Structure 1
Amino acid sequence: MVRELVGGTGVLPEHTPSLEGWFAGGPPGALALAEHVRTSGIGQWWTDRATGPRALAVACADHLVLRGDPQALEPAVLDGLAARYVQAPARFLPVLGRAFELVVPWERMVYVHRVPVAAQRTPRGVTVRRLVPGDAPGLAALDPDTAWIHASWGGPAGLAASGAGWAAFRKGHLGQPERLLAVACTYFQGTAHEDIACVTVPDARRQRLALACVTALCRDIAARGRTPTWTCSRDNRPSRLLAWTAGFRLAQEYVHYVTGRAGRT
């Protein structure tokens, strides 16, 4: 269920005005995040007033999006949202500076899927398929450093049941269960775009398993009538290379902000 941020109006996301106007000109992943929270019920939502809202804040996983008039946003609204990745116009920097001890800009790149890629061959004994509810234990068994992959769906069970994930599994031997090696999923699901993410377990890298999962996921998203997008840091060369190989092309660059601890006393 969507939780209201401190100081909110109590307006549920489905009762807010059309989101497109709030996110015009921004990266498609920001709108997809807001739509994801509205439809999935996972995340937090705030507007300064029920009628004619002037400011909007939406949080999901470790991401926060701010839009509208920053003067209508009190720093107290951001309590409990430290150590987030904040996507907001530069005019919000003063309120972020008052809310947090640290605000660090981080250059980001947005890719849009443009080139269809053929299904990828996988090593012997490895199968790529859609995640199903029974795969939740496999997701939960991933290294804690990769737990972010299912955060936008509320945890392993949420992602496994979402229908929005594809994974590579190695066949078990002598009655042992399959082992999950790589997973690609829609991280934020919008009505026009689905922003995707992927991870591979360390000992299964360099086998093109992430590419196989991403390729299957992109075909699935296209079948839903939506466009896959890919967002990553400018400094993340492996992610950028994987995006290009999977048929994504650079569409936009922007800056988001990494926040430290709450700075107010």
Structure 2
Amino acid sequence: MIELRPHQLTAHTRWLCAAEPGPAALAEHVLTTGNGHGWADRAVQPRTIALDCAGHVLLRGDPGALDPAGLAPLAHRCIEAPGRFLPVLGASFDRVVPWERMVYVQRERATAPPPPRGVTIRQLTSADAPALVRLSPDSAWIHASWGGPSRLGRSGHAWGAFHQGALLAVACTYFRGGTYEDIAVVTAPGRRRRQLALGCVVALSRDISARGRTASWTCSRHNRASRLLAWTAGFRLVREYVHYATGSPAVRVARMPA
């Protein structure tokens, strides 16, 4: 596959932008924010296109147009693709692990309890980038889809719970579509079970509604805590799907001699 330039990406990926909740919002997010990469089997009239953002990939088209070596750029990703792509994925990587996922859409308006004393829930700004970095060593994924903490902070799409300047929890739009905004949330270790994440999610969801969009929530079937939080925040299950976690390329691409 070849990487598409921004103008090529805009021309060739409109058919990926389905107004559906969940991972479909990734396509519009890449197009509108410029954060991510597009790949195709060819630049003109491509038969297969892949969009990659924050380690998540949408793969669509004709799997017959692909060869295993060409999928090397999609190693170590989570790929959402129709089942017809499984043979070529299996031949392209040393492992392909199915991962059951659940998509929720906010159906009921939720109310969060008052935050604990001294905690303020507010919208993030670019000045909050250092607080995002300090949230926890494993939380960098929360701003990956925006290209870093500064870009997430100034996006206007994140709400956080603060105490004495420290960020304790944050909820943000992870993939922004025109109809749905798929959200994500993370809480600092040791700060869980205080309903801080719930307060952030409720505030973010109201913000999304004010923009004329609907909040959606995607998580692993086995992430009980995430599923419970979604339900408490008024989200209801609408569908299930499987994406595939890929390993290293199984086929090495031959290098041209110097």
Structure 2 length as normaliser, TM-score? 0.92
1:260 aligns with 2:239: no
The answer on 1:89 being equivalent to 2:85 is: no
Equivalent residue in structure 2 for 1:181, among 168, 172, 189: 168
Structure 1 residue identity aligned to 2:237: L
Q: Are the counterparts in 2 of residues 7 and 76 from structure 1 also a CA contact under 8 Å?
A: no
Question: How high is the sequence identity, in percent, across the aligned residues?
Answer: 59
2:151 to 146, 151, 158: 158
Say if 1:108 and 1:256, in contact at 8 Å, map to a contact too: yes
1:39–1:9: structure 2 CA closer, same or farther, 3 Å change rule?
closer
Residues 77 and 222 (structure 1 numbering): CA distance in 2 closer, same or farther, change over 3 Å?
A: farther
Aligned length: 251
1:120–1:264 Cα change, 3 Å: same
1:75 aligns with 2:73: no
Residue 216 of structure 2: aligned partner: 229
* Structure 2 residue 191 is the aligned partner of structure 1 residue 204: yes
Amino acid at match of 1:247: G
Q: Does 1:248 align with 2:244?
A: no
Whether the 8 Å CA contact 1:113–1:248 is kept in 2: the answer is yes
- 1:80-129 Cα distance to aligned partner (Å, 9 max, x none): 33221110001111111121100011111100000011243100000000
Q: Quote the residue 1:43 is aligned against.
A: 36
- Structure 2 CA distance for aligned equivalents of residues 168 and 199 of structure 1: 11
Q: Which structure 2 residue ranges, 5 or more long, are not aligned?
A: 253-258
Matched residue of 1:191: which SS? coil
RMSD between aligned alpha carbons?
Answer: 1.7
1:23 is displaced (CA, Å) by: 6.0
Q: Which residue of 1 aligns with 2:9?
A: 13
1:99 aligns with 2:95: no
- Matching of residue 214 in structure 1 with residue 214 in structure 2: no
Q: Per-residue CA shift, 1:170-205, capped at 9, x if unaligned?
A: 0x2xxxxx0000000000000010000000011111
Q: Secondary structure at the match of 2:168?
A: strand
Shift of 1:155: 1.0
Residue matched to 2:256: none
Gaps of 5+ in 1: 1-5, 173-177
How far is 1:49 from its partner? Answer: 3.6
Q: Matches of 2:53 and 2:200 in 1, distance apart?
A: 23
CA distance in 2, matches of 1:75, 1:131: 42
Name the stretch that deviates more: 32-41 or 49-58.
49-58
Q: Which residue of 1 aligns with 2:137?
A: 144
Q: Is the 8 A contact 2:135 2:168 kept in 1?
A: no
Shift of 1:158: 1.2
In 1, Cα distance between the equivalents of 2:17 and 2:122? Answer: 34
Counterpart secondary structure, 1:213? helix
CA deviation vs aligned residue, 1:29-68 (integer Å, no higher than 9, x gap): 2321011001111111023344443211000001111011
User: What secondary structure, in the 3-state scheme, does the structure 2 residue paired with 1:53 have?
Assistant: coil
Query: Does the CA contact (< 8 Å) of 2:8 and 2:43 recur in 1?
Result: no
CA distance in 1, matches of 2:26, 2:111: 28
CA distance in 2, matches of 1:186, 1:23: 17
Q: Mark the CA change 1:262 to 1:61 in structure 2 (over 3 Å): closer, same or farther.
A: same
CA distance in 2 between partners of 1:120 and 1:218 (Å): 15
Counterpart of 1:175 in structure 2 is: none
Within a 5 Å distance, the mapping from 1:22-33 to structure 2 comes to: 22=16, 28-33=21-26
Given that residues 102 and 259 in structure 1 are in contact (C-alpha distance below 8 angstroms), is that contact kept between their aligned partners in structure 2? yes
C-alpha separation between the residues in 1 aligned to 2:41 and 2:109?
43
Moved more, 243-252 or 137-146: 137-146
